Amino acid sequence: MRAYDLILKKREGNELSKEEIKFLIDGFTNGKIPDYQMSALSMVIYFKGMNDRETADLTMAMAESGDQIDLSEIKGVKVDKHSTGGVGDTTSLVLVPLVAAAGIPVAKMSGRGLGHTGGTIDKLESIPGFKTDLSMDRFIDNVNEIKAAIAGQTGNLTPADKKLYSLRDVTATVDSIPLIASSIMSKKIAGGADGIVLDVKVGSGAFMKTLENAEKLAEIMVRIGEKLGRDTTAVLTDMEQPLGHAIGNNLEVKEAIDTLKGEGPEDLTELCLTLGANMLKIAGQVENYQKGYQLLEKLIENGKAFEKFKKLVQKQGGDVSYIKDPDKFKKSENFTEIKAKASGYLSQLKALDIGMAAMLVGAGREQKGDQILNEVGVVVHQKYGKKVLKGEKIATLYHNEENENTKEAIDKLNNSFIINEETPKSRDLIYKIIE
């Protein structure tokens, strides 16, 4: 086989076989197929697409390009969750202990963030002493003992995907649905879970801007999961505004604690209950989604979900006193209040710009080597559809020294909240569930 012939074959609109796809991925991973040929293939796939069988074969080839995690020693059905990313996305910190409190083992491999705020690992490491670099033996033991563990991803998980994404990023081929789907699902397959719940974000603050494209992506990922023997459910959720109120590591950990206590934002709570209920259904813990939702509500009300989070933190070396008293988390003493420019109804919150404002003051990474400042970020006080008065506080930016980045962040926030006289149409948080 030659890469040239396979690129030509795909360019002419023909299907690639499983063996041909594996040849391309293996050759690219080990350096035998150069970047320029794989870039050409990515562009061909962008224009010609892939059918379900090809996309599933591409997913498996990338999953097999590096380590594959064996979770067979963990008792029970292991269900993982993945979010396509958004602004103020704190769900994993709530979901893992919540679902574990229902008796379902949650073995969560997470990454660091590149963008508005830190990833799940960054957020957890803002808890003093919390360790995410667990050995596989300890990771499995923790899940068997307390039903939950969250660790950083292994360095050799899906290396083909890492290499391919770097090329897609600089060749305008990122937004190809088969390539997005295989990228996401390859990591989940390699992660060893028996079932997968996908939180597919839709809107201005998400990667998928339209419901139509998000639905296409969700459907193909569910079909990939089915073809590869993983029970998969996708939940399409709104990201026209930040989820919850907090954006920034310490702020988000505190909000997760509030949510586990039953005192969190309505939208974050609803999303976690919805995703968690689907995880319970896949694991066979409940007959249907509604019973799962009700069970998880009870676990928040009776305090068992919060107790599970404390056990998780303690088990991984974290200082539980911060969980018992979240006011111990440092918050920048410097802050700027963003106030409503007019009276009326909040008809738009530009989620992406709000996230970018948080990143500008150090709550996220613009480049991989950037250091995240745990104490900074944004708190959104008023959400979509709320009536506000001119001069009323609608957001607070927590920052350190004032510099050009701070000024730019303030400008972004001032322009992120659109107020109109008329009441905007109501908008759903959960658009659709695809099983």
Give me the pLDDT at residue 283, please.
Answer: 96
Q: Which domains, from first to last, does the chain contain?
A: 3-49 (1.20.970.10), 79-156+172-324 (3.40.1030.10), 330-420 (3.90.1170.30)
pLDDT > 90: what percent of the chain?
88
Give me the pLDDT at residue 169, please.
Answer: 85
Q: How many residues does the chain have?
A: 435
Map residue 366 onto helix, strand or coil. coil
Name the DSSP class of 328: G
Residue 168 designated active-site: yes
Q: What are phi and psi of 201, to 5 degrees?
A: -80, 145
Give me the pLDDT at residue 379, please.
Answer: 97
The single residue of 187, 311, 365, 399 carrying the catalytic annotation is 187
Spatial CA neighbour of 152 closest among 125, 183, 116: 125
Give me the pLDDT at residue 65, please.
Answer: 96
Query: Do the Cβ atoms of 268 and 247 come closer than 8 Å?
Result: no
pLDDT of residue 369 exceeding 90, the answer is: no
Q: Say how far apart CA 370 and CA 68 lie, in whole Å.
A: 29
∠ CA 9-12-18, nearest 5°, is 40
The single residue of 78, 147, 168, 188 carrying the catalytic annotation is 168
Q: Say how far apart CA 395 and CA 388 lie, in whole Å.
A: 12
pLDDT > 70: what percent of the chain?
99
Spatial CA neighbour of 356 closest among 381, 378, 374: 378
pLDDT of residue 113 exceeding 90, the answer is: no
Residue 393 token pair: 């506080």
Residue 91 token pair: 């769900």
Give me the pLDDT at residue 406, please.
Answer: 96
Stretch 231-255: mean pLDDT, rounded?
Answer: 96
The single residue of 57, 122, 161, 231 carrying the catalytic annotation is 161
Residue 343 designated active-site: no
Q: Is the pTM of this model over 0.75?
A: yes
Stretch 93-116: mean pLDDT, rounded?
Answer: 89
Residue 5 designated active-site: no
Residue 82 designated active-site: yes
The single residue of 10, 82, 201, 281 carrying the catalytic annotation is 82
Give me the pLDDT at residue 114, please.
Answer: 58
19-42 as b/e: b if 16+ CB within 10 A: ebbbbbbebbbeeebeeebbbbbb
> Cα–chain-centroid distance for residue 257?
18
The single residue of 92, 183, 332, 416 carrying the catalytic annotation is 183
Residue 390 designated active-site: no
Map residue 43 onto helix, strand or coil. helix
Stretch 410-423: mean pLDDT, rounded?
Answer: 96
Residue ranges of E strands in 211-276? 231-238, 246-247
Residue 200 token pair: 């597919």
Give me the pLDDT at residue 367, please.
Answer: 75
Give me the pLDDT at residue 85, please.
Answer: 81
Question: Which is higher by pLDDT, 57 or 331?
Answer: 57
Query: Do the Cβ atoms of 365 and 114 come closer than 8 Å?
Result: yes
pLDDT of residue 419 exceeding 90, the answer is: yes
Stretch 90-119: mean pLDDT, rounded?
Answer: 88
What is the distance between the terminal CA atoms of the chain, rounded to a whole angstrom?
A: 38
Give me the pLDDT at residue 293, please.
Answer: 98
pLDDT of residue 361 exceeding 80, the answer is: yes
367-376 as b/e: b if 16+ CB within 10 A: eeeeebbbbb
**pLDDT band, very low/low/confident/very high, at 115 (cuts 50, 70, 90):** low
Q: Say how far apart CA 351 and CA 363 lie, in whole Å.
A: 15
pLDDT of residue 245 exceeding 80, the answer is: yes
Question: Which is higher by pLDDT, 139 or 86?
Answer: 139
Burial of 323 (0-12, 13-18, 19+ CB in 10 A): buried
For the chain, the average pLDDT equals 94
